[in-house]
Amino acid sequence: QVQLVESGGGLVQPGGSLRLSCAASRTIFSINVMGWYRQAPGKQRELVAHIGRGGSTNYADSVKGRFTISRDNAKNTVHLQMNSLKPEDTAVYYCYAEYLSTGYWGQGTQVTVSS
C-alpha cells in the first residue's frame, strides 16, 4: 500500500504562485506513476499532471506552461509548482500514485484563486 499526504494549498490572488507537495509512505522509486488531479465544485475530477518513474511528464492543456511537476526521490516527494494562477484553477487538488497496478489517492488540499 501507499499512503499519500498533500500539503501547500491555500488562498492566492490571480497571477500568484503556490507549490503543492505530496509525501509518499514508500520509496517513489517503486511507484510507476505519480501525479496530481483536481476537482472543482460540480465538476468531475480531472488530470493536472503526471510524472513517470523515469521522469517523463504529461500535463493537461489548461496548465501547460504554468505548472511544473517534479520528483524528489531522496525525500519520496512529488511537487507541483503552480504559477500564473487563474480563478479557474480553484479546486481540491489530489495526489495520485500508481503502485503495482493499483491507484492510491491522498486526502486532497484546497487551492483557491481569488482577489
Chain centroid offset of residue 33 CA: 12
Average pLDDT for the chain: 95
* pLDDT for res 27: 83
List CB contacts of 67: < 8 A, sequence separation 6 or more.
48, 49, 59, 80, 81, 82, 83
* pLDDT for res 98: 92
Which residue's C-alpha cell is 483557491? 112
* pLDDT for res 3: 95
Q: DSSP assignment of 38-76, as one string?
A: EE-TTS--EEEEEEETTS-EEE-TTTTTTEEEEEEGGGT
* Higher pLDDT pick, 2 / 28: 2
In the chain, what percentage of residues exceed pLDDT 90? 84
Q: Name the amino acid, one letter, at 29.
A: F
52-62 average pLDDT score? 94
* Higher pLDDT pick, 53 / 18: 18
* Higher pLDDT pick, 18 / 73: 18
Render pLDDT for 58-85 as a digit per residue (tens, 0 to 9): 999 999 999 999 999 889 999 999 999 9
* pLDDT for res 32: 87
* pLDDT for res 107: 96
Half-sphere exposure of 91 (CA within 13 A, CB side): 21
